[in-house]
Amino acid sequence: MLISSRPMRLLDHSYSTAKENLAFEEWYFQHFEEETLRIWINPSSVISGKHQNVLAECNLHACLDLGVPVLRRISGGGTVYHDSGNVNFSFFRFVDRKKMIDYDRSLILIQDALRELGFPVEMSERHDLFLDETKISGNAQHLRSGRVLHHGTILYDSNLNDLRSTIKRNNGTFIDKGVKSVRSPISNLRAFKDLGNTDQFKSQMIDRFLSKDLKILNEIKVPLSEIEDLIQTKYNLESWNYGYSPAYEFSNEKGGWSCVLKVARGGEIIKAEVNENDVRNYEVEKVLLGKTHFYQELTRHLKTSIDNPNKEVALLQLLF
């Protein structure tokens, strides 16, 4: 049953890149005039919550090897992996103060549709959806000025190997006050019941929504210049994707090297101790101090300051 005092529109709308999809989410949140359920698919990407330490939540080197971008979204919550086997839903709704935090109000619609398709999913106390004690959907919200964006994932036929390798760090220690992801056993819905490929599954989900009196939103005027502006001024920038993280301390040991970095909010390295075979390397420390703990930026500085490609590679493995 759809719990709402307003009619809701259904928008089946995806872009070809993760940055475009996140920029559209933000733009539409600011401009929607009718309550809307958006169904969409993102290409392979790691998407972290607004208040997380992104480097602590992902295996950056695995992401780089797989060509998977790491981006920060505007909602809270934990880090998720998107790909073509995962279907995303986004509710854009108007709220009053009494219903500011109300996951059930929208999530019941997703739960009911999945049950009608033969998936006996249950909602957890954390408002995730589980099937046979494995998580198939996580959710997050963004609230502002009487509007709420409630969005989540549905694992249907996702690449679980890539998911696990990209959102699980295998080295280094972070000390910070960022929001931590809560990991649970996961599975794909398709392993429980095969409804065809992901597009076919998505179409059947949409049919269930339409049967509950949602109406298709056929026309939407999206100013491409505003989407592009959001990409260029936000989602393209390491200062947003990484620098919005809280202050933290990072320590690591790898291949005879060790480091301890203190990083301010915004990403600036304010203290660095680097050892090579138990000997302080003041040359590297000097390169790091005052720089930002961003992969692309440190790659550029190390390339111009360290006249040894092997050492450069070793340091990037250590520092990230």
pLDDT tens-digit map of 219-240: 788 999 999 999 999 999 999 9
Output the CA torsion sign for 19, 20, 23, 25: negative
pLDDT, residue 212, reads: 87
Q: Is the pLDDT confidence value at 269 over 80?
A: yes
pLDDT, residue 99, reads: 58
CB of 263 closer than 8 Å to CB of 250: yes
* DSSP result, 254-288: ETTEEEEEEE-TTSBEEEEEEEETTEE-HHHHHHH
Helix H or strand E segment including 314 = helix 309-319
Q: Is the pLDDT confidence value at 79 over 60?
A: yes
What predicted TM-score, i.e. pTM, was given to this entire model? 0.94
pLDDT, residue 95, reads: 87
pLDDT, residue 3, reads: 38
pLDDT digits (tens, 9 = 90+) for 169-181: 999 999 999 999 9
pLDDT, residue 213, reads: 83
Q: Is the pLDDT confidence value at 5 over 60?
A: no
pLDDT digits (tens, 9 = 90+) for 127-151: 899 999 999 999 999 999 899 999 9
pLDDT band, very low/low/confident/very high, at 218 (cuts 50, 70, 90): confident
Mean pLDDT, rounded, of the chain = 94
Strand 70-72 to strand 45-48: parallel, antiparallel, or no bridges (unpaired)? parallel
Mapped onto helix, strand or coil, the DSSP state of residue 131 is strand
pLDDT, residue 1, reads: 31
CB of 83 closer than 8 Å to CB of 43: yes
pLDDT, residue 101, reads: 63
Domains and CATH numbers, the chain: 8-237 (3.30.930.10), 248-319 (3.30.390.50)
pLDDT digits (tens, 9 = 90+) for 26-56: 999 999 999 999 999 999 999 999 999 999 9
- Please tell me the distance from the alpha carbon of residue 160 to that of residue 83, in angstroms, as a whole number: 10
